[in-house]
Every structure is written in structure tokens, then in C-alpha cells.
Structure 1
Amino acid sequence: MPSLFDPIQLGAVHAPNRVLMAPLTRGRATQDHVPTPVMGEYYAQRAGAGLIISEATGISREGMGWVYAPGLWTEAQVEGWKPVVERLHRAGGRIFAQLWHMGRIVHPDFLDGAAPLSASATTAPGEIRTYASGDGKKPFEPARAATKDDIARVLDDYSAATRNALRAGFDGVQLHAANGYLIDQFLRDGTNLRDDDYGGSPENRARLLREATLRLIAEAGADRVAVRLSPNGEVQGVDDSDPASVFVPVAKWLGEQGIAFLEMRESKPSSDFRPSAVPRLSPEIRKVFPGPLVLNQDYRLASAQADLDSGLADAIAFGRPFISNPDLVERLRRDAPLNPPVTATLYWGGPAGYIDYPALADEPSPSA
């Protein structure tokens, strides 16, 4: 069986190892969601990953509700991404842009007071930081149900963002269909209360995902398109009464399209980030998805290799360990200790706690 350090073909991309960098929102873009030069250093430091999946990147102003996260809907954003991607490529890395519409997780502060868009008129639990809230947070507000015209516009935004990602130099794109954001809000019956072609049956609730995936394929080719799912457990108030009935057919359909790979974040009861007792669906999805299957969530060296050895996964995506360990692949190869992250600088700020984590040969600790 392959090891984590053996190469793998992910569609059109030859990855030199099976340690992928999962998407990680870090909040180092501008208020206009334009990537900044420090992001180029951050990604270049992590070029040893078999493939990097970029931080979630907005496809439109309507779909963006995270402060200082990057976008791909304006020319300035495309131009900002170009040197970031070029620097990573010069360092020998490969990167897919993760395309993001947050749906009801967008606070009206980002939309001049307008209600956010979702599958149905629901409200996300909890609070979120906005530019207007300063250092505090505001509670989410009710979303409005997307009309057919809204859906058509969102699909056009996915097409445009894919074109922009390719113009910026990305090696491919990943559809963010996980973690309680717009497409996940359509997929699951806890938030999709519709009675039209986009609601009701699992097939109908998956319609937006299928249409969005086909838009990405039309622009980039199936071998440069990936999809991310989070099939088990509640995320940001989004859940389903029978996840197998939704996600197993979705995975089968994605396999039939020949996408580059399917990545899944699977919660576990022991997870310290969004734990869930809902059983993992990867064993069932493995049976119907013939392409490369990439699993993510709470992996360490032994558990990652075990899932490769069993054939359950073809590669493993590591998220938080890459934040504080730019040389994570080499640390795993040597079974070396990992740097702990500085929690105060996870989501916004400058270079501190972003590009100053030491590699194996370095001495200093990152700034708090």
C-alpha cells in the first residue's frame, strides 16, 4: 500500500506526496478582500504539501461574510492573487482555489443591510465578527430563500470565479460544499425547507451542487475540479436526518463526472473541533467513488497511514497542523514534534503567528 510520502495523480496535477494542505481561513487579505504579499510567503513556506487547497475564497460580494478573507470576483483580487500563486509555484508547490459562498452565514453588515441568501428563510445560530462590530461579534440575522433568478446568478458567479482563478494561475478549483455554507444549506434537510426542484428529495437538494460542479468543469475541465463535503454531523446549525441518503448518491455522481478528487471533512466523537457521534460515511462513499478520496479531520501520522493502508483514503488533508508547521511533510516524515499554534493570531493580523513559525532547523518561537 502507498505511504503518505508516495506520489499521487490528482486529476491533471501530479502531487509528490499524499499530504495535502486543507483550506484554512487566515484573514490576511484587505478589507476589499484583495490578497496581500504576505500571503505569498505563507503559501510558499508550505510548498512541500502534495497539493495546497487555498483558504476559502469568495465568489461574490453577496457570498462573502468573513473579515479580511480573499475573493475572486474583482480584477483587483485576481491581480492580488497572481503574485501569491506565482511565488508558491516558484517554491515548487501546487494549489487549487477553494470557491466559497457562505449563504446565511453572511451578516447583513457585509451587504449594506440586505438579508443574506440561503436555501430557505432560516437563521444561523451564533455570532460573527463584521467590520462594523470592531473586536466584538454580532448575532446572525434571518436569511431569505433564494429565488430561481438568485440561483442562476450564483451559478454565473461560480463560473466567473473559476475563470478568474485560472487567470490568477491556480492549478485548479475546489467547490466548497461543506461546513454549513450555501451549498451545504441546500444539501441538508435541516436548512432546506423548499418544495420546488431544489428541495424535498435528496436528489433535488443536491441539484445546486450538481449544477455548480458542472459550471466549474465547463470552465476548468473535470481533471482540475475538486469538491469538498462534510457529510456527518451538524455544522453551524446545518444538519440532515439521513446523511447517507444525500451524500452517498452525491459522491457516486461526482465520480461519474471524473473530478480530480473528492475531499471530505469527517467529524469524530473525539474531535476537538466540531465533534460528532454521527458515523463516518467514508466507508460507504469509498464503494461508490472511484477517484482519489481525500479525508480530513484530526489526523496524525499513524491514523493517516492507517486509513491509506486500509484503502479507505488515497490521501490525507491536514489543516491546523499546517498553520504552525510550514514544514509539516518533513516533520511527519521524520515523526518529529509539531509546533503548537498561537491561537491569538489564527484568523487575522499581520505576519506574527502567520509566517514566523520555525522549521525544524530553526530556534525562535513565533510571536504571540
Structure 2
Amino acid sequence: MALFTPLKVGSVTVPNRIGMSALTRSRSSATVPNDIMKEYYDQRAAGGAGLIVTEGILVTRQGTEWPDAPGIWNNEQVEGWKKIVDSVHASGSKIYAQLWHLGRVSHPQAPEQIAAGVPVYAPSAISARGGKFRHIEGSPGHVTPTVVPDPTTLIALYKEADINAKKAGFDGVEVHGASGYFIHEFIDSTSNTRTEQWGGSIENRARFALDTLKAVIEVFGPDVAIKVSPAGGYNDMGMPLQETIDTFGYLLREAGKLNLAYVCLTRYSPWSDVEFDGKKRATPHDVLETYAPFLCSTQIWANVRYTPEEVETTVSSGNAAGVFFGKAWIAHPDVGKRIQKGKPLNNALDFATFYGRPVWTMRGVYRLQGGRGLD
């Protein structure tokens, strides 16, 4: 099977083409990686994940929808991640850190945002519709953010997180440019209405993503990737189809010039497409087919709701170098071995066991409000 052939990703070689995508789990100890997290990653590395991408790692304190999300801005966090990285390596897998800033979908009343002592920053003062902060009293949704005055100060945070990821021994970093978070907010014209060098034209809206990639490449060289979700939907994102293609086509063509390890393309998923005023928010289109031509010399990894059979066809045909699974890794710590042996995957969504605290047991609400994409 093509899935189980080694592949060079950046400067390292992964043992197979089955990846584990970033999956928020709310299990850290006040932003510090702990032994529970180490056991979780140990199990998946031993279970046949060729390349693991961590849950989103906060580059600075933010008021997330998920309490107990880990960070990487201090030495204690670096040491916690180092234990995890070393253990994953001992099992023969490789591991990338996903660098994450939430932007406008943070909340000022969340404990970590209060501790940070700064506003909720975004490219423009445009709130995202929806939101569900179950660890904050009442029923708060997303708020109108504060315009970040100088985006380069945020790029500096990504670079500092990148330096810390290097200290922790990660094989590389994946910049989170998807799912309606900070970088995606700069790219999309519905969340970025700036009129200077960071907004307006496609080139200006892509600038923050590209400059962030260049900054982290200074630390990790060829071991830098980016994840994008052009179809939008989640966290109130999405542009008209032609504008979407033009925008992400330009972004990916320019990103392809940076010698990235890979680009993760997440395809449209009805499961994460939120609805406002009786209308779906996303822009459905074939993401892999549409954007692959812009990445002729860049490795592509595909993501979102792939079946094992579909994965083998996708890889053997050359349409993608590898495929990331998401929720399947929550249901089973041995996804890679199951696929290799032809055993079925149980993709049942049991939210009572997804996260680290009882606040997440409310069934149904997650999908309606839009939670972290699990694929």
C-alpha cells in the first residue's frame, strides 16, 4: 500500500503517509503540557501515526473556548513539550507543533485573557457570529475585537513560539492558517477591512500569513508548514467562490516559493459548516483539485473526513503525499495499525469523552455553535 511507504517531509523522513491532525483536547495544566498529554501522544505514536501535529499550541495567553489549552511561551511549557516530543520520537514517529493564535474568537472574560491583560485582537473590529464559552458564566458569544495596531508585534510572538518549539525538539512547526483564527482572519475579506498594507487587496490580505511563514522559517528552515481551509464556514468565515479561489490561489502560489515542508489543505465539510439566518456560511468547492495546481513544487497533505479506502486512492494517485485523520485518532489510538490490518474505524462522536472536563458533555450544542474542527 502506498500509505505505508516512507516519505521525506522537510528534513525528516516519516515512516508512513498517515498523519494525525491537530485536535484540541483541553487537558493541559494551566497551559503547561502534563503527563496525561504525554500518555495521549505516546499511544498515538505507538499506534502508527507517521506524522503527528499537536493540538493547537497558543503562542500567547488567550481567552479560548477551550479551557486548559497548552501554550509555548515559557520554559515550563517548553520542558513539558520536550518530554512529549522525546517520547514520540522513541516510538518512531515525527511530531510538528501547531502554532495557534485565536484572534477575534477569544473572549475578554476568559481566565487566560484576563491574565494576559490585553484586549482581544483582530485585523478589524468585526465580531464573528456565534461562539460558545461554556466555562464562562452566562451564555457569552463572540465580542467585537480590538484592531491590532501593529501586526508585526504578533508575528514576533509566532517567531518566539517557534524558537521555543525548536528548544523542545519538535521536528517542525505547522502554522495554523485555517478555521477562522487570526491568520485566516487577515486572509478573508469579510473579517479584514483594513486599508493599509495589511488589508484591501489580495496581496495585502495575504501579507500577514506570508510574513509569519518567513519569520518561522528563519528558525526551522525547511521544516515549516501551513494549514488552510479555503472553503471557510467555521467561525463565520467565507468569501464568494471566485474571490476565494483568487485569494487562496495567490496565497498558496506565494507560499509555494518558500520551500515549505508541506501545505495542509482541508476540504469542505458539511459537519463544520455553520448556519446563520437560515443560510450556510461556507463556500463549498473541491479544495484539493482547485488549489493543487498552485502548489506544483510543494508537498500537499489532505485533511477532513477521509475514509481509509479514499486515503489509499488519494496517495497512490499522487493527488496528495499524505492524509491527516482527526476524530478517528480520538476514537482509536491505533488508527495507523488498524488501517494497515484492514480493521474498521469507529467515528462515533461521543462528546462526553472528547475533552478533559465535564463542561464538554453538552451534546448537540457543539455542532450548532461551531466548535474546533475535529478533522
Which TM-score tier does this pair reach, normalised by the shorter chain?
Answer: 0.7 to 0.9
Answer yes or no: is the 8 Å Cα contact 2:63–2:107 preserved in 1. no
Q: Work out the CA distance in 2 between the residues paired with 1:272 and 1:64.
A: 21
Tell me what 1:288 maps to: 294
1:342 — aligned with what?
350
User: In the aligned structure 2, how far is the partner of 1:277 from the partner of 1:193?
Assistant: 20
Q: 1:312 aligns with which of 295, 299, 319?
A: 319
Aligned counterpart, 2:130: 126
CA-based RMSD: 2.0
Question: Counterpart of 1:54 in 2: which secondary structure?
Answer: strand
Aligned residues of 1:115 and 1:141 also touching (Cα < 8 A)? no
Alpha-carbon distance in structure 1 between the residues aligned to 2:263 and 2:132: 29
- Stretch deviating more after TM superposition (156-165 or 138-147): 138-147
**Deviations 1:124-156 (Å, cap 9, x if unpaired)?**
2223326443xx6521111011112xx121111
- Specify the code of the residue in structure 1 equivalent to 2:245: A
Would you say the 8 A contact 1:59–1:158 is kept in 2?
yes
Letter of the 1:97 counterpart: A
Which stretch of the first structure deviates more once superposed, 14-23 or 249-258? 249-258
Contact 2:266-2:287 within 8 A present in 1 as well: no
User: Residues 233 and 283 of structure 2 are in contact (CA less than 8 Å); yes or no, is this contact kept in structure 1?
Assistant: no
Cα separation, partners in 2 of 1:63 and 1:196, compared to 1, 3 Å: farther
**Which residue type is aligned with residue 41 of structure 2?**
Y
Q: 2:16 & 2:306 partners in 1: Cα distance?
A: 16
- Counterpart AA for 2:287: L
Residue pair 1:230, 1:264 contacting (<8 A) in 2 also: yes
Following superposition, the deviation at residue 63 of structure 1 comes to 7.3
Hey, what's the Cα distance between the residues in 1 that align with 2:155 and 2:118?
A: 20
Check conservation: 1:101, 1:181, Cα contact below 8 A. yes
Q: State the alpha-carbon separation in 2 of the partners of residues 192 and 228 from structure 1.
A: 19
Matches within 5 A, 1:98-109: 98-109=98-109
Please tell me whether residue 202 in structure 1 is matched to residue 181 in structure 2.
Answer: no
The alignment covers a number of residue pairs equal to: 342
SS of residue paired to 2:174: strand
In proportion to residue count, which structure has more helix? 2
CA displacement at 1:345 relative to structure 2:
2.1
SS of the aligned residue for 2:2 comes to coil
Alignment of 1:154-193 (within 5 A): 154-193=154-193
TM-superposed deviation, 1:206: 0.4
Question: Structure 1's 114 and 56: CA in aligned 2 closer, same or farther, altered over 3 A?
Answer: same
For each residue in 1:314-338, what CA deviation from the matched residue of structure 2 results, as whole angstroms up to 9, or x when unmatched? 1111011011111101111122122
Task: Indicate the residue corresponding to 1:23 in structure 2.
Answer: 22
Unaligned runs of 5+ in 1: 354-368
Amino acid aligned to 1:118: A
Cα separation, 2, equivalents of 1:251 and 1:219: 21
Distance in 1, matches of 2:100 and 2:122, equals 13
| Correspondences of 1:228-247 after superposition (within 5 Å) | 228-241=227-240, 242-247=243-248
- The C-alpha deviation readout for 1:159-213, integer Å capped at 9, x for no partner, is 1100101111111111000000000000001111111101111110000001100
Q: Is 1:251 paired with 2:252?
A: yes
Tell me whether 137-146 or 177-186 shows the greater mean CA deviation: 137-146
Once the two structures are superposed, what CA deviation does each residue of 1:263-298 show, in whole Å capped at 9, x if it has no partner? Answer: 011114xx4333855212322321121221001011
The aligned counterpart of 1:303 is 310
Q: CA deviation at 1:9?
A: 0.9
Determine the C-alpha separation between the residues in 2 that align with 1:137 and 1:323: 28
Matched, 1:38 2:36: yes
Does the alignment pair 1:330 with 2:337?
A: yes
User: In 1, distance between residues paired with 2:197 and 2:65?
Assistant: 27
For the 8 Å contact 1:26–1:55, the answer to whether it is kept is: yes
- For structure 2, list consecutive stretches of 5 or more residues without a partner in the other structure: 275-281, 362-375
Paired letter, 2:102: M
Q: In 2, distance between residues paired with 1:36 and 1:309?
A: 38
Aligned equivalent of 2:146: 144
So what's the TM-score if we normalise by structure 2? 0.86
Offset of 1:348 from its aligned partner?
2.0
SS of the equivalent of 2:225 reads strand
What amino acid does structure 2 have at the position aligned with 1:262? V
The CA distance in 2 between the partners of 1:16 and 1:198, in whole Å, is 40
